[in-house]
């Protein structure tokens, strides 16, 4: 199969402080496009009721969360959101990631989480339990 990890080559290990490490120019463009397409009511900074939920393979959850929750805690602080990992009823192979906050922060937090996830996949290799196609974090949320 074609592997998705072509863009991340030559980066080595990015130091974990420096919150911008995850945001590639492509991601930033994507984010600003998404933000500019939002109705003004959505991007209101006071509206913290936005909720984004997407599933990630359970194999990668600990890599995304980080030691003692440090990874998602850092993202939550940086983006001013709440990030929760929930069990999915009837599914052992996936966990649900729930991000709550205002729309722009939620989008930003999602990019950070997706970045940690793609780093985890790069390190651990695709370990899709069902043996189907490689996991694409973007495809998981295109339904929102």
Task: Give the pLDDT band of residue 69 (cuts 50, 70, 90).
Answer: very high
Top pLDDT among 17 and 5 is at 5
Alpha carbon dihedral 70, 71, 74, 79, in 10-degree steps, equals -150
Alpha carbon dihedral 137, 70, 102, 112, in 10-degree steps, equals -30
Q: What percent of the chain has pLDDT above 70?
A: 58
Tokens of 117: 């996830």
Going by C-beta distance under 8 Å and a sequence separation of 6 or more, which residues neighbour residue 60? 117, 120, 121, 124, 127
Top pLDDT among 121 and 15 is at 121
pTM of the prediction? 0.59
């Amino acid at each position: 199969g074609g592997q998705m990890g072509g863009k991340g080559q030559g980066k080595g290990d990015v130091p974990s402080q420096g919150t911008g490490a995850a945001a590639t120019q492509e991601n930033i463009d994507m984010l600003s496009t998404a933000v500019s397409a939002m109705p003004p009511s959505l991007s209101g900074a006071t509206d913290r009721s936005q909720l984004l939920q997407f599933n990630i393979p359970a194999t990668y959850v600990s890599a995304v969360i980080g030691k003692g929750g440090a990874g998602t805690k850092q993202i939550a602080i940086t983006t001013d959101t709440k990030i929760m990992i929930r069990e999915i009823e009837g599914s052992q192979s996936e966990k649900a990631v729930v991000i709550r906050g205002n729309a722009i922060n939620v989008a930003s937090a999602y990019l950070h989480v997706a970045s940690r996830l793609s780093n985890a996949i790069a390190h651990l290799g695709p370990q899709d339990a069902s043996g189907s196609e490689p996991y694409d974090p973007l495809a998981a949320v295109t339904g929102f």
